[in-house]
Amino acid sequence: MRETKKRTRPVIESGASLNKKQLIRYIVILALAISLIPFTIDPYLPAFPEVADFFGVPNGVVQSSLAGVTFGLAVGQLIAGPLSDALGRRVPLILALAGFGFSAIAVFFAPSFEVLLALRFAMAFFAASADVIARAVVRDLYKGEPMQKMLSQIYLIQALAPIAGPILGAQLLGFLPWQGVFVVFGLIGLVIALAAQISLIETLPEGQRRSISPIGIARGYLSVLQDRPYIGLMVFGAAQIAGLFGYLNTVSFLYQDGFGLNQSDFGFWFAFNAVASYLGVQLGTYLAKFFQGQWMLLVYGLIGVFAGALMMIT
């Protein structure tokens, strides 16, 4: 009898094995995968008033769609990490990218606001999944200083997403219905998925994969929750995210209804905020060479609280 050999997919275990062309492809694809989270939020903010009018719902109801996005981001991160640890990186990443694309395109056919809310949850779920898995790919390939260098190259591209997203979204609204913006970014997601299918190689060997059992997953989470510095950073990050989403929930109506900006102007000024955020990250990276991280977090946090108080007064 003829022996049948099990075919194994190629696995690349170190970034040193990538040639220059492969490295560039990995940087671009992983950066775009991480960019799906801002692509889930920023491009559609100028359309919030139009969405409210289209479905005949109050502005506050449209703002609640960001709550669905937040929930989708949280669930996606919790589920995608253990799944990719058990099943590998390549296939789950491709599925997450494609899932984002199809969810965004499906918004075009949403018959009600409830369906829109469910699709926004799906977009956030798949965007968070792609983000987590893309970062895991970097961790598989690099350690220490090479990993920091790879991430810095990825962030150079990813940092453009919060800037380009609202500007592109506002410009598209000039000649497309608000649903068309979702279709455009959905197609972008499918193109990234196709590029990943063609170019990415698995980075997690089968021998290093973890059990997908509930007990194994629970033990992993328990070990993380016993890390006190991680808990402190998680609380700080949660407060930061809460402030960010409070801003995102109100900025569209504040700029357009409160200050009378049109959609194009809104996209410009929102992108201006994103540029300020990018500069803040670069400044923090530079200052980290001279000051300890915990003191920088304290100072940044106090400045944020002070700036927020000034905004409330004005």
So what's the pLDDT on residue 8? 59
pLDDT reported for residue 216: 65
Which residue in the block uniquely carries the two structure tokens 């970014």? 185
Q: What's residue 3's pLDDT?
A: 46
Q: What is the pLDDT of residue 191?
A: 96
Query: What was the pLDDT predicted at 182?
Result: 92
Pair of tokens at residue 302? 């106090």
User: How far apart are the C-alpha atoms of 249 and 180, rounded to whole Å?
Assistant: 21
* pLDDT recorded at residue 224: 67
Q: What's the pLDDT score for residue 307? A: 84
Burial class of 88 by CB neighbour count within 10 A (0 to 12, 13 to 18, 19+): buried
How many Å apart are CA 118 and CA 37, to the nearest integer? 16
3-state per-residue secondary structure call for 262-313: CHHHHHHHHHHHHHHHHHHHHHHHHHCCCCCHHHHHHHHHHHHHHHHHHHHH
Cα(127)–Cα(157) distance, integer angstroms: 17
Question: Within 10 Å of residue 278's Cβ, how many Cβ atoms?
Answer: 15
CA distance 89 to 94: 9
Report d(CA 28, CA 30) in Å as an integer: 6
- Which segments of the chain have a pLDDT < 50? 1-6
Q: What pLDDT, on the 0 to 100 scale, is given for residue 4?
A: 46
Q: Distance between CA atoms of 120 and 73, rounded to whole angstroms? A: 10
Contact 221, 97 (CB under 8 A): no
pTM above 0.75, yes or no: yes
Tell me the per-residue pLDDT of 201-213, one tens digit each, with 9 for 90 and over: 888 887 777 767 6
Q: Residues of 179-214 as b/e, b for ≥16 C-beta within 10 angstroms? A: bebbbebbebbbebbebbeeebbbbbeeeeeeeeee
213-220: long-range contacts, CB 8 A cutoff, minimum separation 24: 217/82, 220/82
- DSSP annotation of 49 reads H
Question: Residue 218 and residue 213: Cα distance in Å, rounded?
Answer: 9
Q: Which residue has the tokens 């939020």?
A: 41
Q: Which pLDDT does position 257 carry in this prediction?
A: 75
Residue whose structure tokens are 């033990």:
219
pLDDT of the residue at 190: 96
Distant-in-sequence, close-in-space partners of 49: CB < 8 Å, separation ≥ 6: 59, 252, 253, 256, 257
Q: What is the pLDDT of residue 220?
A: 65
Counts of helices then strands in the chain (DSSP H, E)? 14, 0
